[in-house]
């Protein structure tokens, strides 16, 4: 069986010393926390047609009005299944599924189902969670979410890796008499761990197939990536998000917005080249805070920016 590195959504967006670009869904600019989700499938198909490497969704089970963003509104697994039917090649990623809030049996069933339906296009970003209102709602002790993350991760991996596993875990027991179907499309699903997820750096380097982090200065990000490369014996990609408000003036200097910049395309290209030079392998662009029409921005990015950061066949 082919590995996910050889053929799948992984191969489309990850290559050593190269950077590719993806888009967070919803692909729209909006104020407040709730997007319109108008023409969302058409926008996803347009992103694929224009050559973006990946579409990313988030796991936000509850509307917390104080957090300021509900992502794509729809459940990530239901929505990824829907996206898989309306797209053909673009990578489908999660940024990120909150492991302590979900049972590993459901996670394994959901992830393998999406992976099969999309023919191996799933990239599974996972995290321990940071929206504090969610944990008491699920009757989970916030300080224990790091341990719950590890327990869920181990159970999840064993379910997908063995036909009839024997599992004795705090979150459940299987006595070798049951297993999960379907299995993954390739030998496994690539798992990208987000932030620290309440784990040690060595644990992340050993168990993750990649690392996802938040936007930081070039210097800070370069230090993190160097530590990541030193901790991993084989190539494991580094992924980050970036909010952008792309202006009509291609020369406009960058000015800060939440987790990103308002800037012209020439400065965006320069910044992305700097990220590529320090070892960032994929940037998830978020258009939420943009002042222009999202489709217009997508088309400009595809014409002027994507050719310098192409996805791979």
Q: Residue 70 and residue 270: Cα distance in Å, rounded?
A: 31
189-240 tens-digit pLDDT = 999 999 999 999 999 999 999 999 999 999 999 999 999 999 999 999 999 9
What pLDDT band is residue 187 in, cutting at 50, 70 and 90? confident
Place of tokens 């053909």: 88
pLDDT for the residue numbered 1: 60
Q: Calculate the alpha carbon distances from 102 to 94, 111, 129, 193 in Å.
A: 14, 12, 11, 16
Q: Check if CATH label 3.40.430.10 holds for domain 9-308.
A: no
Q: How far apart are CA 285 and CA 269, in angstroms?
A: 13
What does the domain layout of the chain look like in residue ranges?
A: 9-308
Given pLDDT bands bounded at 50, 70 and 90, which one contains residue 5? confident
Q: Are 10 and 3 in contact (CB under 8 A)?
A: no
Tokens representing 175 are 């006595």
At 4, is the pLDDT very low, low, confident or very high (cuts 50, 70, 90)? Answer: confident
The whole-number pLDDT of residue 244 equals 98
Looking at residue 304, the DSSP 8-state letter turns out to be I
**Distance between CA atoms of residues 32 and 40, nearest Å:** 18
d(CA 201, CA 29): 35
User: What pLDDT, in 10s, does the model give residues 119-144?
Assistant: 999 999 999 999 999 999 999 999 99
CB atoms within 10 A of CB 18: 16
Q: Is there a contact between 247 and 286 (Cβ–Cβ < 8 Å)? A: no
DSSP per-residue codes, 33-48:
S----TTHHHHHHHHH
- The confidence band for 7, taking pLDDT boundaries of 50, 70 and 90, is confident
pLDDT exceeds cutoff 70 at 31: yes
Tens digit of each residue's pLDDT (9 = 90 or more) over 9-26: 999 999 999 999 999 999
């Amino acid at each position: 069986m082919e590995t996910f590195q050889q053929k799948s959504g992984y191969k489309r967006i990850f290559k050593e010393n190269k950077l590719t670009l993806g888009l967070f869904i919803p692909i729209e600019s909006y104020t407040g926390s709730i997007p319109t989700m108008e023409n969302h499938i058409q926008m996803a198909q347009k992103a694929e047609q224009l050559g973006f490497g990946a579409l990313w969704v988030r796991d936000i089970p509850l509307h917390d009005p104080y957090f300021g963003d509900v992502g794509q509104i729809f459940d990530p697994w239901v929505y990824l299944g829907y996206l898989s039917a309306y797209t053909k090649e673009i990578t489908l990623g999660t940024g990120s599924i909150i492991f302590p809030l979900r049972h590993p049996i459901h996670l394994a069933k959901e992830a393998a189902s999406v992976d099969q339906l999309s023919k191996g296009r799933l990239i599974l970003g996972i995290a321990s969670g940071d929206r504090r209102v969610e944990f008491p709602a699920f009757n989970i002790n916030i300080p224990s979410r790091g341990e719950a993350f590890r327990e869920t991760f181990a159970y999840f991996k064993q379910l997908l890796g063995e036909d009839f596993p024997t599992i004795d875990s705090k979150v459940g027991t299987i006595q070798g008499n049951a297993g999960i179907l379907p299995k993954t499309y390739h030998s496994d699903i690539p798992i990208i761990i987000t932030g620290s997820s309440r784990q040690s750096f060595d644990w992340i380097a050993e168990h993750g197939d990649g690392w996802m982090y938040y936007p930081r200065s070039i210097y800070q990000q370069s230090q993190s990536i160097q530590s990541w490369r030193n901790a991993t014996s084989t190539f494991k990609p580094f992924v980050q998000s970036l909010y952008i408000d792309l202006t009509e003036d291609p020369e406009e200097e960058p000015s800060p917005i939440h987790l990103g910049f308002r800037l012209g395309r020439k400065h965006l290209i320069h910044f992305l080249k700097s990220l590529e030079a320090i070892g960032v392998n994929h940037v998830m662009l978020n258009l939420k805070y943009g002042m222009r029409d999202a489709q217009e921005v997508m088309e400009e990015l595809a014409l002027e920016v994507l050719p310098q950061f192409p996805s791979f066949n």
